[in-house]
Amino acid sequence: MDGAGFGPDGDGHYAYLDTEDLISTTLELIERPKRRPPGDDLSS
């Protein structure tokens, strides 16, 4: 599964890799958007 279009400019992407059979977990890959929405400060 994958998707795109989040973040203020719609440039964020994500993908889930079905690796349950190989390593008993699902991997999530994220390409963060270049900018964050106002108030979305993760530094604190």
By the 8 A CB rule, do 15 and 25 touch? Answer: no
H or E segment to which residue 23 belongs: helix 20-23
Token digits for 1?
């599964």
Residues in the chain with pLDDT values less than 50: none
Q: What is the per-residue pLDDT for 41?
A: 65
